[in-house]
Structure 1
Amino acid sequence: MDAAPFLSEIAEGPEGGRAWWLRARDSTRLRIASWPASPGGKGTILMFPGRTEYIEKYGRLARDMATRGYGMVAVDWRGQGLADRPAHRRDMGHVVSFDEYREDVEAVRAALEKLNPPKPWFLIAHSMGGAIGLRALYDGLPVAGVIFSAPMWGIRMSGFLKAISGVVMGLSKSLGLDTSFAPTTGPAAPMEFADNPLTNDREMFDYMEGQVARHPELALGGPSIRWVNAALKETETLMAMDPPDLPMLVLLGTDERIVESSAILARAATWPGCKLHKVERGRHEVLMESPDMREPLLDLIDTWCDEVMTVQAKTG
């Protein structure tokens, strides 16, 4: 594992953050970073980011969790952050299959063996990371429990797109459109705060947008048609599987506009060991909302992790 750039000036995380390069089996270069746990801490959070995201975006969350006794390890998935980007267009989210992300997780697990962060490990998986993380649980990711934040267990589309998606996605390969931007998406562009789907908090919005403004190499635009095809296939497969035998806490904002809330509500209601917490007025980034919304959630996560460990200690 060779040292990789770590943009601490925009992360605003706890002291001691470091980053390294990883290689997936197909030689794709990824990036992993860790913020150390406090002395006598409780364990480590594994952070699986969503689409378009990057390690430094979770610097403040790492700081918040450090005050509660947890270190953090985060990753740049292929195609985003400072990891290798698609050869045909670096600002397009693109994979042929979500199995590529499974290779990324495999590389992360190998890195964890070397880094050996303090246990127990808990996973926080956001948006697309929620699909990658759920698959990782089936693949044996060794965590004590998982917190899903607005997990991508279904793709939100307008009525029109849903009506035509089967035809468009089915013909995309034969028409040579697999590496075209998906309908209604396009190149990376700055977002306006007014009616943004991510957060109600202007200061947190400026923190996220300011990171990309200072480091445009982190920016990512819309997904390719092939990526959407792969995501639809993966979410359909995952939702048909039996629930993982693991404690799960699901956080979902009542003003969610990016992932399919109905899929999340349906799965959380039918999975034993799954606790759903709705965040009133919360948008997609519930862990990046205003302090009055974020702090209770962080306390909830801390308490929930304590409860999980207490139960597991009693049951052996």
Structure 2
Amino acid sequence: MSLPDGAEAGAPFFADVAGAPAGAEAVWLTAADGTRLRAVAWRHEAARGTAVVFPGRTEFAEKYGRVVQALVERGLAVVVLDWRGQGLSDRHPRNPMLGHVQDFRDYQQDVTALLDFATALDLPGPRYLVAHSMGGCIGLRTLLERAEFCGAILSAPMWRLQMRAATRELTSKMTQLANLTGFGARLMPGTRPGPTAHAGFQDNALTSDAATFGWCARQIEAHPELSLGGPSMQWTYAAIEEMTRLYIAPLPRLPMLVMLGDAESVVSSTAIRTRVAQMASGELLDLPGARHEIFMEGPETLARVWQRIDRFLAEVPTRREPSAPARPA
């Protein structure tokens, strides 16, 4: 396997809990700032393109095993990444359970490392972005600044958090002050120091499907090193700042399928609907009864999701429409 400079084979992948297809190739990548990242790839002998998966906050490659299986069944090669600060990638040195990043632009270093890895593997184009929540925030920045992708499939993208404008402004000021006074690496008040996604099925905001919720919980029970707690105050400030910049940035001119559940309570449905309405080639797929994690919903919702993704993949041009480079927002 040819690898980019700084990459190392032999990273673990916990196939026992992933539900992923065979053939996973897990490696360690090194971002430009020296951060070690885990990436996993699945090649396909007759691939008609490559899906690049951007997970959400707290997530890891194994959680997307079933998604990878569905993508491979559709004739795609796949690469997925553990973002810095979560999964098996490098974490906060003093508190590994803390979800922390100094600046959201740091994630673009992770993106570069992942796409260089896909290139080194000679994974075929066209490339499709498949992103969830925080991955949709990072992904929108990527689509604005890079031209590799011909289409994007976004699940509940984190373009604003579900909070009132006054609360958002207060939170931004409070977390900025915390960072300036040396407390940015403290846990965000009101969040959990332990695993956030699996406090209990009742009233959870992530999925309405008890079976899938249980499957996700068993993943981190079997491999607790994959779990993550709440975000730091600096992560929260950095996220709000990046979402604010992106909300006024020009939108990329490429086909985008955006999926949103009508029981969404984590990210702002209003912001998503507003931005999709402004897109040149955007479509919103409304999913009745679905919560935040669209790809972790029950069989009825997933049947609709994959049926629409099939149509999207069939309709997307294999070359991206030329457009003027976006100015950094």
Please state which band the TM-score falls in when normalised by the shorter chain. Answer: over 0.9
Cα 1:270/1:19, change in 2 over 3 Å: same
Between the aligned partners of 1:154 and 1:164, the Cα distance in structure 2 is 15
TM-score, normalised by the number of residues in structure 2: 0.90
Cα 1:271/1:160, change in 2 over 3 Å: closer
Between the aligned partners of 1:80 and 1:131, the Cα distance in structure 2 is 16
Per the alignment, residue 325 of structure 2 pairs with none
Per the alignment, residue 70 of structure 2 pairs with 64
Q: Map 1:48-127 to 2 at 5 A.
A: 48-127=54-133
Q: How far is 1:288 from its partner? A: 1.4
**2:187–2:233 CA contact under 8 A, matched in 1:** yes
Q: How far is 1:164 from its partner? A: 3.2
Per the alignment, residue 203 of structure 1 pairs with 211
Between the aligned partners of 1:274 and 1:9, the Cα distance in structure 2 is 37
TM-score, normalised by the number of residues in structure 1: 0.94
Q: Which of 263, 266, 271 is the aligned partner of 1:258? A: 266
Q: Which of 248, 267, 275 is the aligned partner of 1:267? A: 275
Q: Map 1:1-316 to 2 at 5 A.
A: 1-3=7-9, 4-37=11-44, 39-157=45-163, 161-162=167-168, 164-189=170-195, 190-309=198-317
Between the aligned partners of 1:131 and 1:313, the Cα distance in structure 2 is 20
SS at match of 1:144: strand
**1:145–1:247 CA contact under 8 A, matched in 2:** yes
**1:243–1:271 CA contact under 8 A, matched in 2:** yes
Between the aligned partners of 2:206 and 2:292, the Cα distance in structure 1 is 5
SS at match of 2:316: helix
Q: How far is 1:203 from its partner? A: 1.3
Q: How far is 1:313 from its partner? A: 10
Between the aligned partners of 1:67 and 1:163, the Cα distance in structure 2 is 44
**1:65–1:298 CA contact under 8 A, matched in 2:** no
**1:191–1:209 CA contact under 8 A, matched in 2:** no
Between the aligned partners of 2:20 and 2:303, the Cα distance in structure 1 is 16
Between the aligned partners of 1:178 and 1:111, the Cα distance in structure 2 is 32
User: Percent of aligned pairs with the same residue?
Assistant: 41
More off after superposition, 254-263 vs 185-194: 185-194
Cα 1:243/1:104, change in 2 over 3 Å: same
Structure 2 unaligned spans of 5+:
1-6, 323-329
Aligned residues: 313
Structure 1 unaligned spans of 5+:
none
More off after superposition, 151-160 vs 248-257: 151-160
Residue identity in the other structure for 2:77: G
Q: How far is 1:153 from its partner? A: 0.4
**2:172–2:240 CA contact under 8 A, matched in 1:** no
Runs of 4+ in 1 over 6 A off after TM superposition: none
Between the aligned partners of 1:42 and 1:163, the Cα distance in structure 2 is 45
Q: How far is 1:158 from its partner? A: 6.2
